[in-house]
Amino acid sequence: MARKPRREQLATVQYYLTLPLTPRWRVPHLGKDRTAYVIGLVGTGRFYVTRLIFGNIGRRAKYFRAAIRFHPGPTSMIYSGHATIKYVSRGQEPPAVASRILGAVRSGFADLIFVTRHPLDSLLSNWVWWRTYDGDTGMGSTISDFYKNSDDFCADLDQNFAEFKAFTEGDPDVFGAIEGPRFLSFPEFVEETQLYLQSATLTSRLEDFTIDPLKEFSKIVAVMSVDLDLSRVPLAPPITKPHRYLAVKEKVPQFRDFINGLDAQTKRRIEKIGYKVGG
């Protein structure tokens, strides 16, 4: 499956993950399982982690759904999706949904696996995703899908930097043809990340999967208390390049100025969640 185009991978996984929970289907609770929520803000690599779990978690994969549901007690279900804690955002479940998830985690009958990535890398990916978003398919493009190489991407960013800047500020009119609420501003995105890190059972950094995917996947397996023989689990690292923003910063002076001009609070928050601002 890892060799298939990303869109084909997404279609295959979503087919299985969106199978409906019919009224007659009893929500399972096997052994000491706890409901698992795999949550990530848009553009953080949640799909990679979702695909990894779905393809390697064993029998429990049949209880995996690309949705977020709340249950007033432990279950064997694994839910995956986007949600925000504080701000309403396009493409993400509202804070009321996240509040119920966090309540379940505090009550001890659910676990939250939060997928994160350097916010500046997520920012670049999200700009491309939303500006190429197709309302009919519900999909946008990744940087690697849309551009032949890094030079082409940097040239486009430089040429359309006013649009990019409006996007970072959460301008609701930047992609006016897309219905729904505006997407998060960059400071809001960073704040949402920090809020999640304060409550997550496990934080999975996409960059760490590029170094040792088996080590990071084993942490997820431990949280979910799944009995697996990890020696037989072949795991591919993410295709996404980590810290892409550093190369972009060198090639696009406007982007470098944007980073340097971030407000002090946003810079502190990026550092508190474990990332460097300048490289």
> What's the length of the chain?
279
160-194 residue pLDDT tens:
999 999 999 999 999 877 778 999 999 999 999 99
pLDDT score recorded for residue 21:
52
C-alpha angle with apex 120: 257 to 43, nearest 5 degrees?
A: 145
DSSP one-letter code for 63: G
Domain ranges of the chain: 6-118+185-232, 119-181+242-272
pLDDT score recorded for residue 2:
41
DSSP one-letter code for 93: B
- Measured in whole angstroms, how far is the alpha carbon of residue 69 from the centre of its chain? 18
Distance CA 141, CA 197 (A): 27
**Mean pLDDT across the chain, nearest whole number?**
90
Q: Which long-range contacts (CB under 8 A, 24 or more apart) does 217-226 make?
A: 217/52, 217/53, 217/56, 220/49, 220/53, 220/113, 221/57, 223/36, 223/111, 223/113, 224/33, 224/34, 224/36, 224/57, 224/60, 224/78, 224/111, 225/32, 225/33, 225/34, 226/57, 226/58, 226/60
Bridge partners (DSSP) of residue 50 are none
Can you tell me the mean pLDDT for 2-12? 48
Structure tokens at 99: 């509040």
Can you tell me the mean pLDDT for 104-109? 96
What percent of the chain is predicted at pLDDT more than 70? 90
Closest of 111, 140, 115 to residue 128, by C-alpha: 140
Residue 202 has pLDDT above 90, yes or no: yes
Residue 118 has pLDDT above 60, yes or no: yes
Burial of 6 (0-12, 13-18, 19+ CB in 10 A): middle
Q: Look at 142 and 231; give whichever has higher pLDDT.
A: 142
Q: How confident is the model at residue 279 (pLDDT cuts 50, 70, 90)?
A: low
Residue 199 has pLDDT above 80, yes or no: yes
Residue 15 has pLDDT above 50, yes or no: no
pLDDT score recorded for residue 25:
57
pLDDT score recorded for residue 186:
98
Q: Look at 271 and 5; give whichever has higher pLDDT.
A: 271
6-118+185-232: CATH class: alpha beta
To the question of pTM greater than 0.95 for the whole model, the response is no
Distance CA 101, CA 115 (A): 15
Can you tell me the mean pLDDT for 257-271? 97
Residue 3 has pLDDT above 80, yes or no: no
Structure tokens at 235: 């795991």
Q: DSSP H helical segments within 71-140, as ranges? A: 95-107, 119-131
**Helix (H, G, I), strand (E, B), or coil: what is residue 1?**
coil
120-167 residue pLDDT tens:
999 999 999 999 998 767 788 999 999 999 999 999 999 999 999 999
